[in-house]
Amino acid sequence: MPINDTAERPALRPVPAGTAPADGELSWQETALCAQTGPELFFPEPGSSTREAKMLCGICEGREACLEYALTHDERFGVWGGLSEQERYALRRRRAGRR
């Protein structure tokens, strides 16, 4: 019997009560293409391809806001804003090196 591990994977999540984001901070989620697909595309099994998720991100109007959200909130899993975990980590390091 296959294990349903999608429940363990993070997804776009609401902001907890009392920590409301600034106006429009999460408005990109309303029209994000990822919201119209399953989370398994953006949170693939280790070693699986992220190519399809990145292609979808590439045509999404919310890509830049999504990436900034992931960087600001230290999202460590999945594809956010068209970048994988490793790519976001490298970007954070590059940004930190410019300061």
Binding residues for [4Fe-4S] cluster, by number, are 34, 57, 60, 66
Binding residues: 34, 57, 60, 66
How far apart CA 71 and CA 95 sit, in angstroms, is 11
How far apart CA 90 and CA 85 sit, in angstroms, is 9
Conformation bin of residue 3: beta by default, left when phi > 0, alpha when psi is -120 to 50? beta
